[in-house]
Amino acid sequence: MTTATPEILLTDLVFPEGARWHEDALWFSDVHADVVLRFDPAAGRLDRVAAVPGGPAGLGFLPDGRLLVTAGHDRTVRRLERDGRLVVHADLSDLASWHLNDMAVDGHGRAWVGNYGDDSAPPAPPRPANLVRVDPDGTTTVAAGEMLFANGIVVTADGGTLIVAETRSTPGRLTAFTILSDGTLTDRRTLCTFAPSVLPDGLTIAADDAVWVASPFSGEVLRVDPGGAVTDRIEVPHPYAVALGGRRGEDLFVCSADHWEPDLARTARSGKILRLRP
C-alpha cells in the first residue's frame, strides 16, 4: 500500500457522499445534513445547491445539465429545475426494498439506482435487492435483481458497460453488465473480487476505464484496471466516495468521515473533502 498525505480541502461536514465532478466543480451530498453542495476548488468556494430532506445520496446529471439526486428515505429520485425547484423525477418505492443509495446517469439520461436492501448490518447477511433503471421520462424498470447492497456505480466512457460495487457480497466485488441500446443489462459478470477487509463503496472511473474504489473500513482507495486487476492501493482515512476531476481530470477527490452512523456523524462533524494526485 502506498502512503500519501492527502490535501484537506474542506472540513466540518457531517457525512459527505456521492461525489461527482461536473462543470469544473465537485458536487456531493452531505447525507445526514440533508443537503447537496457544490465546491469550486479553484476559487475555494462552497455553495449549497439544494436541501433534500430524508438523506440525499447519489448524484448525476441529465444531458441538459439538470441535477438528479436520490432521496434515500422516501425512495425517490429528485430533479433540480433551472428555477431552483426540486421535483420528483421518479418514485422507486414499489421497486426499492429499502433506502436508495448511489446512482450513475449515462449519456442518454438513464439513471441507474441502487438501494440497501434492508436495514441490517454486518455480520448479518443483506437482503438481495433490485438495481433500478430510471429512463429520462421518469419510467422505472428493474434492471437487475439479487444485488448485495449495490453501492458505487459508474459507466464506461463508451457507454457500453455498467459497473457496480456490491459492498456486502462475500467477498466484496465489482459486478459489470453490458448495456444494450435500449438500456437492458446483459452479460452479468464479476469484474473484480477483493480481500475480506475491503467493502467497496463509492466508485469513480477514469478516461481509460480504470475504476477507483473507496474502501472505508480498510482505510484505502484502490485502482482496478479494465481487466479487473488491483494495480494501486493508497492509504486514506475512512474514504466513502471518490471522484476524478480537476483541470486535467487527474485529481482524485475523496469524501471522508470518521462515522457513518447518523447521530454520531451529526455530533462529530468529522466529514472532510480530501484531494490526492495519484
Q: Which residues are tagged catalytic?
A: 201
Its sign, for the CA torsion 70, 73, 76, 78, is negative
**Cα(132)–Cα(164) distance, integer angstroms:** 12
> Would you say 166 is a known binding-site residue?
no
Cell numbers standing for residue 227: 481487466
> Would you say 119 is a known binding-site residue?
yes
> Would you say 201 is a known binding-site residue?
yes
Cβ 254 vs Cβ 216: under 8 Å: no
- Return all residues near 141 (Cβ < 8 A) that are at least 6 apart: 132, 133, 135, 183
**Terminal Cα distance for the chain, rounded:** 13
**Cα(205)–Cα(219) distance, integer angstroms:** 19
Strand, coil or helix: 243: strand
Residue in 209, 213, 143, 205 with CA at minimum distance from that of residue 174: 213
> Would you say 232 is a known binding-site residue?
no
CB-side neighbour CA atoms (13 Å) of 51: 1
> Would you say 83 is a known binding-site residue?
no
Cell numbers standing for residue 74: 422516501
**Cα(182)–Cα(107) distance, integer angstroms:** 13
Phi, psi of 3 (to 5 degrees): -100, 125
Residue in 188, 219, 216 with CA at minimum distance from that of residue 200: 216
**Cα(78)–Cα(98) distance, integer angstroms:** 17
**Cα(211)–Cα(222) distance, integer angstroms:** 8
Q: Binding site for substrate: residue ranges?
A: 101, 119
Feature table: binding site: 17, 101, 119, 151, 201
Binding residues for a divalent metal cation: 17, 151, 201
